[in-house]
């Protein structure tokens, strides 16, 4: 008979993991000549694809570059003046607002910044969620939606354009 302090027979056995648990793991096989040839061919193929992409970029038409990266803006163009009536519906300095539009998009409501995801008349970056919440659209490319958002951003920034949440990066273009 067993003593009451002796462990049951099942606890004294090694775990039943099967034969594979005790087999040493094998190393990965060394690359063969065929493997090296395949890798070399893949690198040549990718090199040709990247060269084709570079050539395609050279032939691409020049993208929009915001005026904030260039000389000071002028809002006297017809492209910018077409938005005067829309901008004057809000309680802000219309001339400064038109200067910001001129710097950011040159009056083009479909402008996209090639250096970031900023887009639209005011070059709004990441405000699509608010456009959807307030106007039911996910786009800031609509000039009426974008101008309403720009006014709200202007108000949240202390009724100034040159705050961190506004158009501080382009103040050298439109600022005084």
Overall CATH class of domain 67-174: mainly alpha
Q: Global pTM?
A: 0.58
What is the Cα–Cα distance from 3 to 115, expressed in whole angstroms? 80
* 3-state SS class at 124: strand
Q: Do residues 125 and 107 touch, judged by C-beta distance below 8 A?
A: no
Give, in order, the Cα–Cα distances in Å from 105 to each of 31, 65, 101, 134, 151. 55, 8, 6, 23, 16
- Domain borders along the chain are 67-174
* 3-state SS class at 92: coil
Per-residue pLDDT tens for 117-173? 889 999 988 888 888 999 999 889 999 999 999 999 999 888 888 877 778 777 777
């Amino acid at each position: 008979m067993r003593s009451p302090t002796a462990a049951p027979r099942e606890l004294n056995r090694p775990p039943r993991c099967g034969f594979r648990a005790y087999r040493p793991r094998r190393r990965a096989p060394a690359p063969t000549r065929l493997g090296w040839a395949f890798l070399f061919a893949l690198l040549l193929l990718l090199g040709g694809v990247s060269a084709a992409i570079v050539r395609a970029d050279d032939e691409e038409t020049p993208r929009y570059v915001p005026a904030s990266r260039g000389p000071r803006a002028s809002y006297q163009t017809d492209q910018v003046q077409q938005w005067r009536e829309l901008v004057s519906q809000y309680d802000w300095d219309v001339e400064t607002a038109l200067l910001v539009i001129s710097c950011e998009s040159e009056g083009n409501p479909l402008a996209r910044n090639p250096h970031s995801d900023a887009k639209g008349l005011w070059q709004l970056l990441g405000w699509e969620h608010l456009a959807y919440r307030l106007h039911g659209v996910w786009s800031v490319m609509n000039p009426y939606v974008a101008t309403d958002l720009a006014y709200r951003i202007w108000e949240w920034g202390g009724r100034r354009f040159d705050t961190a949440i506004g158009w501080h990066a382009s103040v050298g273009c439109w600022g005084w």
